Every structure is written in C-alpha cells, then in structure tokens.
C-alpha cells in the first residue's frame, strides 16, 4: 500500500466516522438517525472548466471516453461538500467517550444481530482470509453502523468538487481517476457509486484507491460490489485488506490488563513491547478470558491511569485501516462485545472538567428533567448536551458557556 493510499485512509476517516461511528443518534451513541438528503449540484463555471481539463488528463491515463461521458453525465459541483471539507470540527474525544460511542448498547446489540444473521458468510470469509469474523463485523459496525449509513453522496460529483476546490487537489484527483477505473471495470454503475462527502464508499467505507488495491468479488457474481444491500463483498474486502496488511490469525487485537502495585510506568507506551512471559513476570494480568499476549501497554484513563490496554501486532494492523489509536481500540473492543464479552472494567476517572462518567450522566438526566433535552444520558458531552447547558445557563442568568462543570452539576442538584 503506497503512502497516498495510507494518507487517504486517514483523510477519509473523518467522513467515514461521520457516516458510521460518530453521532448516529440525536447526539452521540443511541439510535441511528435517517440519512441526510443527498446534496444537489449547483451551476459553477469554474468547476465546468476544471472538468473539461480533467477529462483530457483522465483519457491520457487510460480512461475511455465512454466511461468519462457516463461518469460525468448528471455530475455537478456540490457546495455542501466543500463546506464539510473546510469546516471539519477539530476535536479529540477521550478514549472513554469514544468507546461509549463505538460500543454503545445499540451498536453492540445490532452487531450481535448482524453477526448471527451473516454468521455463515463471515465464517467463510474467515476461513479464506484468516481474519476473525467478529473483527470484520466490528469494522462494519464502526464504518457504517452495519450498512445503515453507507453514504448517499454521488462520488464522482464529490471527488471532482474537492479536486477542483484544490485544498487537497492532487489527492482527490487521484481518487477521482481511481473511481473512473472502478466504473470502467463494470463493478458499479455511475448512479450507484455513492458514499461519504469525501469519497469513502460502501459498507466498510473504502476510498477508490483502496478499493482498487483490496476489493474482492467474494460471492462470485463477477463484480466487486461494496455498495449493495448485500454486504458480502464489502466484508470480504475488509478481511482481504487486513490480511494483506499483516493480520495474524489467532492473535487478539489486545485486551484490558491490570498492573501490580508499584509497576514501573516507564514501561508503558506504544513501541515498548514485551513478550507475554515478560509481562507475566512483571505482574501484568489480563482482564477477561483472553490469555495474556505480547505487545505494548498503554494507559487509557482520562488522567493517564487505569484502565490499561495491552496492544498486539494485530492492533497495529487495524491502524493500517484507520491510523487513529482510539479507532483501533474501538474496533477491538466492539469485536469483543459482539462476542458477548464485557465492557471495560476499570474506571476511566474524572475528565478534564473534573466530572466522571456517572457525573456527566447525572448532569444529562437533571438537565432533561428540567426541560433541557440532552438527547440521551450516555455521559458523552456532545452538541445537544452543550446546547442544553447553554439554555439552562441563560435561563438562570449564568454566563453562557455550554461547558459542563462540577459547579453546574451542584447547581442542578
């Protein structure tokens, strides 16, 4: 996999998570909402001129005139896509918040249903590629909420809009050419090639270059179809991706562990791996049924303490799918939950505001009881909770900050 493809996976990750992991309920972790309407193209002379020049470049790269004409028939400039690209909110959720979203009760429940529904297919995929079926199901769950949020943005319009806009023009033009190659191969019709605003497609949100490198026709119908209601090819393509990225069958992604009193915290951190025997000798013990493995140990708590996670080489392989630590832990943890294993046992501790998860949940309950709807009580402070806090603060004459705090919780009590 080249650097451009790896970089594209990270860039597309924001859009993929928006479609799948991050808010798929009214706020951030409960029931998934109906997809937003597909954006409509608007006239744009600059885009028209750019496309005219691009068509020549595409033809020079081996794209047939028939493919080019079919792809751009009905395509257009999408200002909503540019707005999304320029206004990506840069924020970092704590691992606690991320896991509350990634392994919400609804995502776990639906995941177990889908895992049972597609058990035969997933087992066949595992037999061929050696990637455990519950891990493939977890990627599916995070990327598109098990296919319920695959994205409805026309990919040719989105990629040409972003390439014309120019902020990451080279990357998006490369993706656009790759998308045309997919159309030229006959795997999908232009009208069915839809995805996220950044061009990530299908049940497991492949960008076009990743599709060309890893997608497979598992059901043998002659097409590598990751877009249809049937997720078979998408799930198999994900397994093929992980296998070629270095997945080791039988090795867990990682696990929660406990550390003995007086443990040397200087041993913590990715890149400081030891064997299972060495960790065992240092008093490290697994939480749950999975035996201790070799790897690195990190602290996942809000204040740098418990819980602790041991991360194996397969964790590093998940990072090649999406190079974000929280995402990879989210995939691993959700895969465990799909199998029926428990949630994280150790407390994450108070967050930067001084509130624990129980405190944040109580704050949401009290706000909702006063008529300021937070959209749920999972302890994740998202847009709806911040709006409710602001409305409450305004109603009682407090400075309007929208921020949770121990003082605000005491006042609500």
Cα→Cα distances 366→325, 373, 409, Å: 33, 10, 8
Distance of CA 140 to the CA centre of its chain: 9
- pLDDT tens for the 413 residues of the chain, in order: 554 454 345 444 444 444 444 433 333 333 445 567 889 999 999 999 999 999 999 999 999 999 999 999 999 999 999 999 988 655 578 999 999 999 999 999 999 999 999 999 999 999 999 999 999 999 999 999 999 999 999 999 999 999 999 889 999 999 999 999 999 999 999 999 999 999 999 999 999 999 999 999 999 999 999 999 999 999 999 999 999 999 999 999 999 999 999 999 999 999 999 999 999 999 999 999 999 999 999 999 998 889 999 999 999 999 999 999 999 999 999 999 999 999 999 999 999 999 999 999 999 999 999 999 999 999 999 999 999 999 999 999 999 999 999 999 999 99
The answer, as to whether pTM is greater than 0.95, is no
pLDDT at 89: 57
Q: What value does the mean pLDDT of the chain take?
A: 92
Structure tokens at 77: 């400039």
Residues 238-281: pLDDT tens digits? 999 999 999 999 999 999 999 999 999 999 999 999 999 999 99
* 140 Cβ contact partners less than 8 Å away, ≥ 6 residues apart: 114, 146, 147, 203, 204, 231, 234, 235, 238
Which residues share a beta bridge with 256?
309
H or E element in which residue 293 lies: none
């Amino acid at each position: 996999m080249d650097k451009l493809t790896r970089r594209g996976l990270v860039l597309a990750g924001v859009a993929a998570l928006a479609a799948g992991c991050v808010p798929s309920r009214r706020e951030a972790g409960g029931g998934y909402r109906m997809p937003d309407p597909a954006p409509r193209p608007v006239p744009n002379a600059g885009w028209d001129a750019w496309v005219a020049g691009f068509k020549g470049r595409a033809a020079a790269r081996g794209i047939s005139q028939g493919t080019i004409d079919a792809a751009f028939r009905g395509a257009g400039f999408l200002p909503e896509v540019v707005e999304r690209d320029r206004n990506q909110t840069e924020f970092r959720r704590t691992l606690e918040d991320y896991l509350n979203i990634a392994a919400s009760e609804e995502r776990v429940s639906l995941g177990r249903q889908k895992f049972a529904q597609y058990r035969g297919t997933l087992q066949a995929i595992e037999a061929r590629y050696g990637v455990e079926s519950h891990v493939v199901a977890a990627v599916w769950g995070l990327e598109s909420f098990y296919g319920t949020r695959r994205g409805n943005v026309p990919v040719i319009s989105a990629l040409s809009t972003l390439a014309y806009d120019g902020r990451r023009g080279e990357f998006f033009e490369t993706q656009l050419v790759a998308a045309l190659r997919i159309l030229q191969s006959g795997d999908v019709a232009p009208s069915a090639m839809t995805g996220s605003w950044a061009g990530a497609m299908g049940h497991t949100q492949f960008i076009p270059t990743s599709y060309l490198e890893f997608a497979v026709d598992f059901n043998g119908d002659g097409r590598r179809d990751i877009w249809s209601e049937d997720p078979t090819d998408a799930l198999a393509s994900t397994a093929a991706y992980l296998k070629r990225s270095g997945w080791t069958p039988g090795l867990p992604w990682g696990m929660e562990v406990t550390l003995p009193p007086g443990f040397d915290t200087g041993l913590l951190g990715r890149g400081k791996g030891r064997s299972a025997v060495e960790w065992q000798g240092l008093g490290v013990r697994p939480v749950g049924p999975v035996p201790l493995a070799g790897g690195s140990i990190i602290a996942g708590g809000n204040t740098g303490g418990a819980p602790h996670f041991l991360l194996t080489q397969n964790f590093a392989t998940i990072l090649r799918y999406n190079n974000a630590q929280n995402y990879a832990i989210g995939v691993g943890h959700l895969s465990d939950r799909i199998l029926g294993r428990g949630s994280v046992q150790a407390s994450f501790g108070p967050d930067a505001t001084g509130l624990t998860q129980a405190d944040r949940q109580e704050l949401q309950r009290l706000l909702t009881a006063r008529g300021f709807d937070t959209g749920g009580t999972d302890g994740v402070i998202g847009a709806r909770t911040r709006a409710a806090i602001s409305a409450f603060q305004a109603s009682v004459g407090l400075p309007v900050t929208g921020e949770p705090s121990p003082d605000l919780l005491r006042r609500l009590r």
